[in-house]
Structure 1
Amino acid sequence: MDTILPQRLPPGAALLSRGFRPFFLSAILAAIVLGLLWILAYSFGQPLLHPDYPLPAWHGHEMVFGYSAAVLAGFLLTVVRNRTGLPAARGPVLLTLVLLWLLARLLPLIPGLPLWLPALAESLFLLGLLVLTARPLLGLHTWKQLALPGQAILLLPASLLFHLGLMQVWEPGLQAGLYLGFYLLLGLLLTLGGQVVPHFIENTVRDGFRARSNRWLDRLGVGVFVVFAGADIIAVTISHPFAAYLSVILALVLFVIHATRIQGWYHHSLWQHPLLWVLYLAYAWIVFGFLLKFLTLAVGTSPWVALHAFGYGGIGLASMGLLARVTLAHTGRNAFAPPAGTGTALALLAAGTVIRVLPAWWLPQYYAVWMLAAQLIWMAAFIVLLWVYAPLLLLPRIDKHHTDPEPMA
């Protein structure tokens, strides 16, 4: 692997030395700033957006293609370097990619600009990410290595669909693109989680524990999820009744499959390790989300409850946990002993998930109150994370030479 840049790097140079550094820092800042803007717009009625940009659509879009895409970009650029041993994007190339991501966040907030401009910026960002991640892996001559960036690049057509809907070229594209992007992220988490969570548990508890897994059950889960996601996208896009019924029935099947999987990974010692329990808990929220999705048909539960179990609980907790673990592992620190404050940030986000999902289900008449409380807790969690991890992302590694560990890939 590459030798680390020496400690005499000029101030700020370390930030652009590795792909995870600027994108993870951008993701943390986006979680805070976008959360604040959402509160100002939703809870206090402040006009922030282009008049043709629906506020709920902006919120969903920024969580999928803004915050989550930044975490994914940092992760993918790190995975590619680990798997190929080749120098990854850095310096001006990396800065250009980050600025394209940032432009796509800022342009919708500028009055009078046409909506195709943020669409162009976001498309260029996602296309650039594809080139920088897939091209080095092509040299390995193995399709298996392309699976992760191959799934991630589907965010590009999802983004295009969303913006076609936003510009009223094809109005159903707004929902289709948003849900396609959302389910792509959820599918990536289910796939990646099934690979790394049991592995992390086995390596951390170190008492001979072996997580149980079933290859056929894993494959069945992937196939059922693809059909579920397709059915639900059709249901929300064109209100097709058969697709709606199919999606909720398959959600129950997915609940059974993934509840079986996660039960086989459990070890009581995982609660002693913040970067372990957060991934297990994130997966558990996704499993619970499938049950809540089924309950939309069975008892009339609001679909937003399941959506936030998936998003706030599943994607939110998993992304924060992965961000922290990758940062520690690739800045020369011990991922098994995270710095003080990590557990606080994770615990805040876990508490925010409970507030965002359960009271909104049981006491929907106070939905706005629960939403505001959960959003404030979300911001507080990421402010703590920023305080702890910004120095790690901005400064060079603490060890002089290294061979990168492979905590994720």
Structure 2
Amino acid sequence: MIEIQEPQSSHSPAWLNLGFRPFFMGAALFAVLSMSIWAAIFPLQILSPLNELAPTVWHAHEMIYGYAVAVIAGFLLAAVKNWTGLQTLRGTLLFLLFFLWLTARLLPLAGLFSEAGLSLQWTAFADLLFMAMLIPAVAVPIIRAKSQRNLVVIAILALLLIGNGLFYLGVFGILADGIRLGLYLGFYIIIALVLMMGRRVIPFFTERGVGYSVTLTNYAWLDKAVPFLMIAFIAAELVAPGNLMTTMVAAVLMGLLGLRLVGWHTKGIWRKPLLWVLHIAYGLVAVGFALNVAAALTGISPFLAVHAFALGGIGLMTLGMMARVSLGHTGRDIFAPPSAVIWMFLLLIGAAVLRVFVPLLVPAYYTLWVGLSQLSWILAFALFTLFYIPMLVTPRADGQPG
């Protein structure tokens, strides 16, 4: 589905030949760096490097608009080329886009090296300009190819830009509730994108990857219902989080996603790490909706649901997709991934268990569970950088361009 026809020639260095290379590399390195800084702030309380943003706000923003958006950018710049047959950014233009993303990530950390730091206005400028440039980079090939099915991708990127804009309006005191609106709009739009792309790729990859003939079950009515319900959930969460409407929609989504996973299951996935990781990640999205319902009905922390979405639906799904896409588009065998991928995935699943489920059972040691979850996240992405960055910065193993 996303086996991309590479350009016939390129004078760019290998890491600028296609968008997944710099953005997957940057996302993985930033995942290690940002979580290490967050761990030093909380729970270790040995560092507070950010002068203008509260550390919790910085952490939330950077996981959404830093890490997750980088993976989305890399994936879409690769996938759109396959969907449309038209070349996406490479070379100098790709470097400029990546540089804007990187600048927006590093500027808030200036307080690590200088008491004065740099104005958050420069960060906002770089961050919003990056997202404003990403939209036409993805939209132009889609529009030129008249790929109507993928117009929704443009709308999703536009909503992410709006969400990030709302966030900065809140930071600068222009919009009273801008920070919350911007963070949650971006967060749930990414979950919606995960559900949409999961529907496209998980059954596709599964049917072709288990090693035997199988036809998975999909329901046309469910494919129509999930996007509609997700829009309703996002609207309800933004307007009145935790209200009856939100709870009812979350409960229905939990059931529908569970039904979808049952239809997608076949025993062969458990022999293929690049398959079971996607199924588990999708399952954790369903768990997130279940915990959202539980938070409304029982009073447990709503942040348990947030972290089920974040660590499963975003963290685990993106790590699994990066591991697969990087193999396929660097000319390697997707059916023979590095043995380390199992440990990467297990560590990130462990991070989700430690952050979401263990605090429910042993809440007295909450700070310890958070710290161990952070460590598991860091180790998972450190393994990715160790095994995958050499692939991302060197020419394709099969000698083909790209």
Query: Is the TM value for this pair above 0.5?
Result: yes
Does residue 48 in structure 1 map to residue 53 in structure 2?
A: no
Moved more, 185-194 or 203-212: 203-212
Answer whether contact 1:302 1:361 (CA < 8 A) is retained.
Answer: no
The letter of the residue matching 2:259 is T
Q: Which residue of the partner structure matches residue 116 of structure 1?
A: 121
**Displacement, 1:152?**
2.3
Q: Provide structure 2 residue ranges, at least 5 long, that are not aligned to the other structure.
A: 111-115
Answer whether contact 1:327 1:393 (CA < 8 A) is retained.
Answer: yes
**Displacement, 1:66?**
0.4
Does residue 172 in structure 1 map to residue 177 in structure 2?
A: yes
Does residue 372 in structure 1 map to residue 377 in structure 2?
A: no
TM-score scaled by structure 1? 0.92
> Within 2, Cα distance between the matches of 1:194 and 1:31?
26
Please state whether the residue corresponding to 1:264 is helix, strand or coil: helix
Encode CA deviations 1:43-69: one digit per residue, 9 max, x unaligned.
23212112x412211111000000001
Does residue 191 in structure 1 map to residue 196 in structure 2?
A: yes
Does residue 233 in structure 1 map to residue 242 in structure 2?
A: no
Answer whether contact 2:84 2:147 (CA < 8 A) is retained.
Answer: no
Encode CA deviations 1:72-94: one digit per residue, 9 max, x unaligned.
01001001221232332112111
> Within 2, Cα distance between the matches of 1:235 and 1:366?
31
Residue pairs, 1:211-222, within 5 angstroms: 211-222=216-227
The verdict on how the C-alpha distance between 1:2 and 1:272 changes in structure 2, with shifts beyond 3 A counting, is closer
**Displacement, 1:312?**
0.6
Encode CA deviations 1:195-236: one digit per residue, 9 max, x unaligned.
211111111124332111111112111111111111111224
> Within 2, Cα distance between the matches of 1:20 and 1:234?
35
Q: Which residue of the partner structure matches residue 200 of structure 1?
A: 205
Residue pairs, 1:76-95, within 5 angstroms: 76-95=76-95
Q: Which residue of the partner structure matches residue 267 of structure 2?
A: 268
Q: Which residue of the partner structure matches residue 399 of structure 1?
A: 398
**Displacement, 1:120?**
0.9
Residue pairs, 1:28-43, within 5 angstroms: 28-43=28-43
Moved more, 264-273 or 137-146: 137-146
Q: Which residue of the partner structure matches residue 240 of structure 1?
A: none
Q: Which residue of the partner structure matches residue 407 of structure 1?
A: none
Answer whether contact 1:4 1:400 (CA < 8 A) is retained.
Answer: no
Answer whether contact 1:3 1:401 (CA < 8 A) is retained.
Answer: no
Encode CA deviations 1:298-344: one digit per residue, 9 max, x unaligned.
11111010100000112111000100111111011111211221111
Encode CA deviations 1:164-216: one digit per residue, 9 max, x unaligned.
11111112010000000000100001111112111111111243321111111
Does residue 75 in structure 1 map to residue 80 in structure 2?
A: no
> Within 2, Cα distance between the matches of 1:13 and 1:142?
30
**Displacement, 1:358?**
0.4
Does residue 61 in structure 1 map to residue 58 in structure 2?
A: no
Answer whether contact 2:210 2:269 (CA < 8 A) is retained.
Answer: yes
> Within 1, Cα distance between the matches of 2:40 and 2:213?
51
The letter of the residue matching 1:128 is M
**Displacement, 1:295?**
0.2
> Within 1, Cα distance between the matches of 2:351 and 2:321?
18
Q: Which residue of the partner structure matches residue 298 of structure 1?
A: 297
Answer whether contact 1:18 1:89 (CA < 8 A) is retained.
Answer: yes
Please state whether the residue corresponding to 1:153 is helix, strand or coil: helix
Q: Which residue of the partner structure matches residue 315 of structure 1?
A: 314
Encode CA deviations 1:22-44: one digit per residue, 9 max, x unaligned.
00000000100001110111223
Does residue 247 in structure 1 map to residue 237 in structure 2?
A: no
Please state whether the residue corresponding to 1:210 is helix, strand or coil: coil
> Within 2, Cα distance between the matches of 1:400 and 1:118?
39
1:128 corresponds, among 118, 126, 133, to 133
Q: Which residue of the partner structure matches residue 113 of structure 2?
A: none
Answer whether contact 2:163 2:181 (CA < 8 A) is retained.
Answer: yes
The letter of the residue matching 1:49 is L
**Displacement, 1:3?**
4.5
Answer whether contact 1:5 1:396 (CA < 8 A) is retained.
Answer: no
Identity %: 38
> Within 2, Cα distance between the matches of 1:178 and 1:370?
24
> Within 1, Cα distance between the matches of 2:125 and 2:183?
17
**Displacement, 1:4?**
5.2
> Within 2, Cα distance between the matches of 1:330 and 1:31?
22
Please state whether the residue corresponding to 2:145 is helix, strand or coil: coil
> Within 2, Cα distance between the matches of 1:161 and 1:362?
37
The letter of the residue matching 1:158 is G
The letter of the residue matching 2:48 is P
Q: Which residue of the partner structure matches residue 159 of structure 2?
A: 154
Q: Provide structure 1 residue ranges, at least 5 long, that are not aligned to the other structure.
A: 237-242, 405-409
> Within 1, Cα distance between the matches of 2:147 and 2:384?
37
**Displacement, 1:150?**
2.6
The letter of the residue matching 2:16 is L
Please state whether the residue corresponding to 1:203 is helix, strand or coil: helix
The verdict on how the C-alpha distance between 1:354 and 1:141 changes in structure 2, with shifts beyond 3 A counting, is same
**Equivalences, count:** 392
Encode CA deviations 1:243-297: one digit per residue, 9 max, x unaligned.
6221122111111111111111111110110100000000000011111110011
> Within 2, Cα distance between the matches of 1:379 and 1:304?
20
